[in-house]
């Protein structure tokens, strides 16, 4: 090794690596790895050795260079060297990694029966994914973001538009020293506190977190509406009418085997606000919530517990002049694993008026429990579950109370490793009580039996699966149904060929009128390499649907075939272009109405990926 020297600290983002060998070597046998990544194809072989300069920025810290080759006499030589890097003298990390992707698509020819559907003859899509990092000692700053460019012949529907748009961004600053850690996040943040307060909320705003040892304090403020693109609001405006603000604190006790967390959040959404991709109710909302959660794990996962108690004040319509409704929620979970046995037990209660702004996962007016367990052996697995939930938890006379019971059993056998078997049975019971006058009762039993067996041999596998379900309506309506599904599929995954054919039969029976609806589906997916860089792939399906009373007789055909060419090695080691031709065909035939609808489109696309780091 000539440079860097062994154990040398190099100040460079893409250090030049140069090796010279003391003996003649077989260039075809050379193998080079950096940090366990094969870079042989990018090494420039010279007389007596090779030279390699990384195309992407190496992260700071220690790196391992592994070299193997055969000498002219056939002796195998393998050596491993270590060196370290930092990006600049002032900063250990100072880098920017960017990936640009782009696609231009144009319709070359088309034959359409359905001319009422407009489609652009051409489209352009581009995306920039960027990550920028700066760090030194206990400080670090990173900025991540995605920007998009799009344009097409026809105009876009609002709020989309042609041109450049910033999709999302996140700026984070961290400080960590000893037992202290702090983080400030601005932009598109994800707030996740507890299941019944603020849970996996993705919005634009900010969050500040500080930790010392096992203690943690956090505060956040985010906009209530979903943001598309970049506007003039940062999400940090302290207005609870159209923002959500909150704080949380937690502490770990007994070596973090007991953790206690408290959350408080308040905010709402104004009447006139709308969110891209989400259709909120027309009313404005406002509310606040206080939650306490305790989790424990004292017996090495044999017994884990979670208890969460919450209280909310919620106004689901700020325009009606009424005040907040106050209610509670409770969540208790016990679980663990002892040798081959695991178990989980959950009890949930959510009051009829309990709700939290911007938490769509809350199911108000709900109470019940869920039990599950499993038993594991080397070649056999058994699992069972039972749950019971009901609404109308306060027994209001104006509403019926509906119970949902679910019982399930599953079995898996791997006695023959190449022939695994899965079997399952489930029963779902819906039953109502205390129905008010004029409300029909609910009483149904649904059983579902499933099974599949797979044979695996090398790169190929074949799976046979079956399912039968029976829905027994035990009310006066007596609306019973049943369904049968049979499927046969196989896969082959070789070095240059992938195949996935399948066939499926479904029969749905309306037992009231004794009518069967039969559906036959045949499908095929494949990918194949023709020569280096040239490949072909396709997918297609044919579906035939008929009924025993001859009211339906339809055929649907969908097929796509794509021929593409891409370079085996990126241009200048950073740019990967691809050219593709795609044929799409859709066909719909109604044999009863004697109508046909066919669409065939030939499309040319040019795409590329550019990786830049500096």
Mean pLDDT along residues 480-488: 97
Task: Set out the domains of the chain in order of their start, with CATH numbers.
Answer: 9-86 (2.60.40.1220), 178-332 (no CATH)
Q: Which of 273-277, 301-305, 403-407, 559-563 has the lowest mean pLDDT?
A: 273-277
pLDDT at position 273 is 47
pLDDT at position 288 is 96
Q: Residue 335: how many CA atoms within 13 Å on its side-chain side?
A: 15
Burial class (CB in 10 A: 0-12, 13-18, 19+), 526: middle
Q: In angstroms, rounded to a whole number, what is the distance separating the alpha carbons of residues 312 and 218?
A: 20
Q: Which of 249-253, 275-279, 358-362, 412-416 has the lowest mean pLDDT?
A: 275-279
Judged against a pLDDT cut of 50, whether residue 479 lies above it is answered with yes
Mean pLDDT along residues 51-68: 92
pLDDT at position 301 is 93
Please answer whether residues 560 and 541 qualify as being in contact, where contact means their C-beta atoms are separated by less than 8 angstroms.
no
Mean pLDDT along residues 451-478: 95
Judged against a pLDDT cut of 80, whether residue 573 lies above it is answered with no
DSSP H helical segments within 565-606, as ranges? none
User: Torsion angle of alpha carbons 257, 263, 269, 275, nearest 10°?
Assistant: -20
Q: In angstroms, rounded to a whole number, what is the distance separating the alpha carbons of residues 19 and 2?
A: 5
pLDDT at position 225 is 86
Q: In angstroms, rounded to a whole number, what is the distance separating the alpha carbons of residues 556 and 550?
A: 17
User: Residue 362's beta-bridge partner residues?
Assistant: none
DSSP H helical segments within 296-369, as ranges? none
Judged against a pLDDT cut of 50, whether residue 212 lies above it is answered with yes
Q: Residue 532: how many CA atoms within 13 Å on its side-chain side?
A: 3
Judged against a pLDDT cut of 70, whether residue 463 lies above it is answered with yes
pLDDT at position 11 is 95
Q: CB count, 10 Å around CB of 41?
A: 9
Interval 261-296: pLDDT, tens: 999 999 998 865 454 545 555 578 999 999 999 999
Q: In angstroms, rounded to a whole number, what is the distance separating the alpha carbons of residues 147 and 158?
A: 18
Helix (H) or strand (E) holding 487: strand 481-493
Interval 146-196: pLDDT, tens: 999 999 988 888 767 888 988 899 999 999 999 999 999 999 999 999 999
Q: In angstroms, rounded to a whole number, what is the distance separating the alpha carbons of residues 12 and 8?
A: 12
pLDDT at position 115 is 59
Q: Tell me how far the alpha carbon of residue 269 is from its chain's centroid.
A: 27
Read off the pTM. Answer: 0.86
Bond before 159 cis per omega within 30 degrees: yes
Judged against a pLDDT cut of 70, whether residue 349 lies above it is answered with yes
């Amino acid at each position: 090794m000539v440079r860097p020297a062994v154990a040398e600290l190099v100040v460079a983002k893409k250090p030049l690596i140069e090796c010279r060998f003391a003996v003649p070597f077989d260039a075809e046998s050379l193998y080079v790895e950096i940090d366990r990544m094969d870079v042989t194809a990018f090494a420039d072989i010279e007389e007596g050795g090779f030279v390699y300069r990384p195309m992407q920025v190496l992260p700071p810290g220690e790196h391992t260079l592994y070299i193997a080759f055969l000498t002219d006499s056939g002796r195998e030589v393998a050596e491993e060297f270590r060196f370290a890097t930092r990006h600049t003298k002032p900063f250990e990390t100072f880098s920017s990694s960017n990936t640009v992707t782009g696609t231009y698509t144009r319709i070359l020819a088309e034959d359409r029966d359905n001319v009422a559907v407009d489609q652009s003859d051409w489209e352009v899509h581009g995306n920039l994914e960027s990550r920028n990092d700066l760090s030194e000692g206990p400080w670090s700053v990173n900025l991540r973001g995605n920007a998009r460019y799009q344009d097409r012949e026809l105009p876009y529907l609002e709020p989309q538009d042609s041109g450049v748009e910033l999709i999302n961004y996140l700026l984070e600053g961290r400080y960590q020293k000893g037992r202290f850690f702090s983080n400030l996040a601005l932009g598109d943040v994800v707030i996740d506190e507890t299941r019944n307060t603020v849970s996996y909320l993705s919005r634009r705003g900010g969050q500040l977190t500080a930790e010392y040892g096992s203690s943690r304090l956090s505060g956040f403020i985010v906009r209530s509406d979903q943001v598309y693109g970049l506007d003039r609001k940062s999400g940090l405006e302290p207005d609870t009418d159209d923002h959500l603000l909150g704080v949380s604190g937690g502490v770990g006790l007994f070596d973090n085997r007991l953790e206690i967390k408290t959350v408080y959040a308040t905010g709402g959404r104004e009447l006139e606000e709308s969110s891209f991709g989400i259709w909120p109710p027309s009313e404005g909302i406002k509310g606040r919530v206080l939650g306490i959660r305790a989790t424990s794990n004292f017996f090495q996962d044999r017994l884990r517990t979670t208890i969460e108690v919450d209280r909310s004040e919620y106004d689901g319509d700020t325009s009606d002049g009424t005040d907040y409704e106050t209610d509670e929620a409770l969540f208790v979970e016990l679980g663990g694993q002892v040798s081959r046995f695991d178990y989980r037990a959950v009890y949930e209660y959510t009051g009829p008026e309990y709700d939290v702004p911007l938490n769509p996962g809350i199911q108000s007016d709900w109470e019940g429990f869920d039990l599950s367990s499993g038993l594991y052996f080397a070649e056999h697995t058994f699992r069972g579950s039972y749950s019971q939930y009901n609404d109308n938890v306060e027994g209001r006379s104006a509403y019926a109370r509906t119970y949902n019971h679910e019982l399930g059993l599953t079995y898996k056998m791997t006695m023959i490793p190449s022939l695994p078997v899965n079997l399952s049975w489930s029963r779902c019971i819906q039953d109502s009580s205390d129905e008010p006058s004029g409300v029909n009762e609910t009483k149904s039993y649904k059983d579902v039996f499933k099974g599949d067996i797979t044979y695996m041999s090398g790169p190929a596998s074949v799976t046979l699966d079956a399912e039968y379900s029976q829905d027994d309506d035990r009310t006066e309506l007596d609306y019973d149904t049943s369904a049968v599904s049979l499927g046969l599929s196989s896969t082959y995954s070789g070095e240059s060929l992938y195949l996935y054919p399948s066939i499926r039969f479904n029969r749905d029976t309306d037992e009231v009128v004794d009518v069967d609806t039969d559906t036959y589906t045949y499908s095929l997916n494949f990918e194949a390499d023709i020569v280096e860089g040239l490949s072909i792939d396709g997918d297609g399906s044919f579906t035939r649907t008929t009924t025993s009373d001859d009211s339906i007789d339809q055929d649907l055909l969908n097929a796509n075939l794509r021929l593409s060419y891409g370079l085996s090695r990126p241009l200048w080691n950073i740019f990967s272009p691809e050219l593709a031709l795609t044929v799409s065909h859709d066909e719909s035939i109604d044999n009863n109405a004697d109508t046909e609808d066919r669409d065939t489109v030939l499309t040319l696309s040019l795409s590329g990926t550019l990786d830049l780091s500096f």
